[in-house]
Amino acid sequence: MIIYGASGHAKVIIDIIKLMDGHSIDFVLDDDPKVKNLLGFEVKHQLTDDMKDEKLVLAIGNNLIRHKLANKLQQGYCSALIHASAVISENVNINEGSVVMANAVINSSTVIGKHCIINSGAIVEHDVKMEDFVHISPGSTVTGNVNIGKGTQIGAGATIIPGLQIGKWVTVGAGAVVLEDIPDFAVVVGNPAKIIKFNRIEDE
């Protein structure tokens, strides 16, 4: 497997893979030629033809950059990477390229899109539908029957109450408490969460 991105997020993904049976890391790939090594793994700087059959994980925390890379690269992606301590219902569907960090909980009948991040200690309750490139940050809680659009980030420690519709490319600030539906591109903060501005996403 190739880890794309020599970031802090990549370090956490390496730790997950080390605990998974039947998975091994070939090398890390990064644009920065100055970076040669990450946690003992060689860092290469280009994808070449002989690597085209290797599965890849996009180890980049920024949702928009992860999205742009996934559109650009002609590579196969690995199935979901899940930390050994995560608690996940057997009725959950987690799509390719997504990662689930330590102590996350994902409950029954939830669907997680492609290239999503369910970060450390996050709780995603039952019947949540999450589109691609979403990031649920550490310690946040998405309660039951919430829908979350593509590219949205739920900030660290935020809470979304049940049944809400959270649009695409939304940013929910750290610690926010979301009590009503959020439109596409909105940035919301506080308790109760209020819109402070809108994200500008040109080529989504």
Ligand X SMILES: CC(=O)SCCNC(=O)CCNC(=O)[C@H](O)C(C)(C)COP(=O)(O)OP(=O)(O)OC[C@H]1O[C@@H](n2cnc3c(N)ncnc32)[C@H](O)[C@@H]1OP(=O)(O)O
Which positions are catalytic?
A: 126
Nearest distance from C-beta of residue 8 to ligand X, angstroms = 7
Nearest distance from C-beta of residue 153 to ligand X, angstroms = 7
Nearer to ligand X, 75 or 169 (CB): 169
Residue number of the CB closest to ligand X reads 173
List CB contacts of 105: < 8 A, sequence separation 6 or more.
86, 87, 88, 122, 123, 124
The stretches of the chain forming alpha helices (DSSP H) are 8-18, 63-72
Q: Are 98 and 113 in contact (CB under 8 A)?
A: yes
Q: Are 18 and 41 in contact (CB under 8 A)?
A: no
Q: What is the dihedral of CA 201, 12, 142, 131, to 10 degrees?
A: 40
Nearest distance from C-beta of residue 184 to ligand X, angstroms = 16
Nearer to ligand X, 102 or 174 (CB): 174
Nearest distance from C-beta of residue 140 to ligand X, angstroms = 8
Residues at the contact surface with ligand X, assessed by CB under 6 A: 119, 137-138, 155-156, 171, 173-175, 187, 189-190, 196
Does 9 show up as a binding residue in the annotation? yes
Nearer to ligand X, 97 or 173 (CB): 173
Does 7 show up as a binding residue in the annotation? yes
Instruction: Give the integer Cα–Cα distance in Å for 94 and 111.
Output: 6
Instruction: Give the integer Cα–Cα distance in Å for 142 and 158.
Output: 8
Instruction: Give the integer Cα–Cα distance in Å for 191 and 86.
Output: 28
Nearer to ligand X, 159 or 171 (CB): 171
Q: Which two tokens stand for residue 204?
A: 């989504």
Does 61 show up as a binding residue in the annotation? yes
Annotated binding site for substrate: 7-9, 61
Annotated binding site for acetyl-CoA: 135
Annotated binding site: 7-9, 61, 135
